[in-house]
Chains A and B, each alone.
Chain A
Amino acid sequence: MAANRPRVKVPKTAKKGDVFQIKTLVTHAMETGLRKGKDGNPIPRDIVNTFTCAFNGKTVFTMKLEPAISANPYIAFYQQATESGDYTFTWTDDAGDSVSKTASIQVS
């Protein structure tokens, strides 16, 4: 199952030098590979293993996820405002499928 419904919260405006929080959420089952299905066979692992955040094309934050991260992974982190631009968020799962979302910020 590919990740879907990415949601991000980035302030629309910020003053130069401000430190602000970015919150992200994506819908994904994050199947651990430890659970057994109804037929007694293990359900294969299927997780979002990488999350990246790039600002104007430059990677500023990366997270490597393990099966111990909860379903529908929530990730929050901080950024410092330097210039106006676009944040691009990308989630990649075990099958190699990825989903992206972009958010802009106006820095004064």
Chain B
Amino acid sequence: MSHQRSQTLTVNRRGLLGALGGGVLVAAGAGLAPRAAKATPEDAGKWVAELTGGKPPTDDPRVALDLPPIAENGNTVPVTVTVDSPMTDGDYVTKIHVVAEGNPNPGLCTFELTPACGKAEVSTRMRLARTQNVVAVAELSDGTVISGRKEVKVTIGGCGG
């Protein structure tokens, strides 16, 4: 009886050691995985300048980003951009660019709006590689370029690589 019990114990200890060893290997693998090159705020600025024809955007409270403060999964981060605009034929938002400052590529997407939209609010889901600022740049029909930004904390990045 006592012999049998000690045998059970030995098997358990082996199992435990194996599990521990496996865990260490997985941790080492994650550390060695190659990391994708990251964009910097300067790269993001250049990307915006290319799209807007060199006009530097000015920060404006009319551009609002609705983002979760903490994104647990960087693969699908919901984003809503709202621009306070009457959206009439004479005064409307023509384009909204969304830019990530810390992704491998800074560009996220560009929305092209018309006065038929009635309201300058767009939503989508994006991938974020790490904790970073997301910037929305709005081009208005009178030629002004305004922007807004918000920081998102990302727990697990979602850009592959």
**B-binding residues in A (CB < 8 A):** 19, 32, 34-36, 55, 59-71, 73-80, 82
Contact = CB atoms under 8 A, between A and B. Distances in A.
A32 B80 CA distance: 22
Given A70-B127, A74-B125, A80 B116 contact: yes
A35 B161 contact: yes
A70 B126 contact: yes
16 contacts: A32-B159, A34-B36, A34-B104, A36-B160, A60-B117, A63-B109, A63-B112, A67-B105, A68-B108, A68-B127, A68-B128, A69-B124, A70-B125, A71-B76, A75-B123, A75-B124
B119 A34 contact: no
Contact of A34 (B118, B128, B159): B159
Please tell me the size bucket of the interface on B. 35 or more
Nearest to A76: B123
Interface in B124-146: 124-128
A103 to B, nearest CB: 15
Interface of B: 36, 75-77, 80, 87, 100, 103-105, 107-114, 116-128, 158-161
Given A69-B125, A73-B125, A80-B118, A63 B160 contact: no
A69 B126 contact: yes
Contacts of A60: 114, 116-117
A11 to B, nearest CB: 13
B154 to A, nearest CB: 12
Nearest to A20: B118
